[in-house]
Amino acid sequence: MIDIPELKPCPFCGGTDIWPTPHRNPFGLVCGGCGSEGPPESYVDPDEAITAWNTRTPPQIKPLVWVETRHKSPDQLGIRSGAIGINYVIISSLMRDNSILSSGGSANIGPFYFDTIEAAKAAAQADYTRRILDALA
């Protein structure tokens, strides 16, 4: 049995249920939360693999880029951002103090109502980041 020192959480899901794959050659680690395996390099020595796991950094997700769009109603401002087949759309009413976030493409969300455009953008970014990390896990 291999003595495993303290392991850092999974860089993808933050899970702490990390266990070794000692019967696999090369040695590796698996997250019980999302199934992510690592480190990506091949290590025969368990200590080197554990050190590599503990020094991994989470993937950096690029921020969504927002573009102003025309909308049917003159009292509404539309902005959109699209990536990986998901189009996020925010429509802000100039007459009322709210913004509506929805999406199209491969996964529909919303509509969700927010007090500000910035809050709707933050919700879209959080959804996008979660989808990317889920796809990587």
Q: Are residues 47 and 96 in the same domain?
A: no
Residue range of the domain that includes 13: 1-58
Q: 58, 82, 100: which is the final residue of a domain?
A: 58
Range of lowest pLDDT (9-13, 23-27, 84-88, 89-93): 23-27
Q: Are residues 43 and 72 in the same domain?
A: no
Q: Which DSSP category does 97 fall into? A: S
- The per-residue pLDDT of the chain, averaged, comes to 76
- Total number of domains constituting the chain: 2
40-67 confidence digits (pLDDT tens): 666 677 788 888 888 887 778 888 888 8
Looking at per-residue confidence, does 117 or 58 come out higher? Answer: 117
Q: Please state, for a pLDDT cut of 70, what percent of the chain lies above it.
A: 66
Q: Are residues 74 and 47 in the same domain?
A: no
Q: 10, 31, 58: which is the final residue of a domain?
A: 58
CA distance 90 to 97: 13
Identity of the residue numbered 122 = A
Q: Answer yes or no: pTM beyond 0.85.
A: no
Q: Are residues 71 and 132 in the same domain?
A: yes
Q: Are residues 84 and 132 in the same domain?
A: yes
